[in-house]
Amino acid sequence: MKKAQRIARINVLLRQPQGVTMAQMRDDLSVSRITVCRDLDVMRDEMHAPIVWDRGSGVYRLEAENQTGPAYMLPGLWFTPQQAYALLTMQNMVAQIAPNLLGPFLDPMRGLLKHMLYEADFHLFGLDQKIEIDMPAMPTLGDLDFNILLEALVNDQSVRLTLATPAGKEETLVGLPLKLRIAADTWCIDVRPESGNTPLKIDVGQIRKVVAISGDVEEE
């Protein structure tokens, strides 16, 4: 077991209400007392873990984190190379569905995962060239409008949609986005109208503008 994995496990053991003994940590991790002590020192010195030794009960535990000074935090993401590769694969698949809209949301995490795999000397095997998704083109919708629509969907926030009608005119719909559906032939979003309870299925390709509504204030 690598040090990062050991530290993540020790953190779990220390957070038990009853604490954990040195013997229990050694048995759980299958390592020597010296290795456990070194990991505890790293957690104290580099991660500011409030580890205390309870002499009365003979256990280590984490002190209540109400002290002054740097906050205790386990840094980074705790993935094995295989887990990071699987997550990166999934993100690449999602990004291919709508690279101009979904891609930017995933870029920071994708870059971090690639760096983790590079540090672990884990080859990517031409990941970008080995996955292809045959999906309909993303409907024409500006990235800002799409972002507003997604945030409203996640936060249960109403929006004002400007829609193009088959006759070439525009109409307005105020409602609450319920679900985004990406099918093999179309993109649709279910919206519950402000004036009714029955959701409407809106073709995303009809949407020309999205404005978030917060209380009585519309956020452009």
pLDDT tens string 191-216: 999 887 899 999 888 999 999 887 54
Which single residue is written with the structure tokens 């010296």? 34
The DSSP letter of residue 63 is P
Same domain, 24 and 56: yes
Distance (Å, whole) CA 57 – CA 61: 11
Distance (Å, whole) CA 53 – CA 203: 61
Distance (Å, whole) CA 4 – CA 20: 19
Answer yes or no: is 74 within a domain.
no
Percent of the chain with pLDDT over 90: 29
CATH number where 154 lies: 2.30.30.520
The model's pTM: 0.49
Indicate the average pLDDT of the chain.
80
Same domain, 44 and 108: no
Average pLDDT of the segment spanning 113-125: 71
Confidence of residue 21 (pLDDT cuts 50, 70, 90): very high
Same domain, 123 and 147: no
Position 7 pLDDT exceeds 80: yes
Same domain, 20 and 85: no
Which one has a higher pLDDT value, 72 or 61?
61
pLDDT tens string 140-149: 777 678 878 8
Same domain, 212 and 151: yes
Domain containing 171 equals: 143-219
Nearest to 7 by CA among 78, 69, 60: 78
The DSSP letter of residue 69 is S
Same domain, 149 and 209: yes
Return the ∠ at Cα 184 (arms to 183 and 189), rounded to 5°. Answer: 25
Answer yes or no: is 183 within a domain.
yes
Beta strands in the chain (DSSP E): 51-54, 59-62, 159-164, 170-182, 187-193, 200-203, 207-214, 217-219
How high is the pLDDT of residue 67?
53
> How many structural domains compose the chain?
3
Same domain, 156 and 117: no
Answer yes or no: is 150 within a domain.
yes
CATH number where 7 lies: 1.10.10.10
Element (H, E) at 107: helix 102-119
Of 15, 32, 62, the position where a domain reaches its end is: 62
189: Cβ contacts below 8 Å, ≥ 6 apart: 149, 153, 177, 178, 179, 180, 181, 201, 202, 204, 207
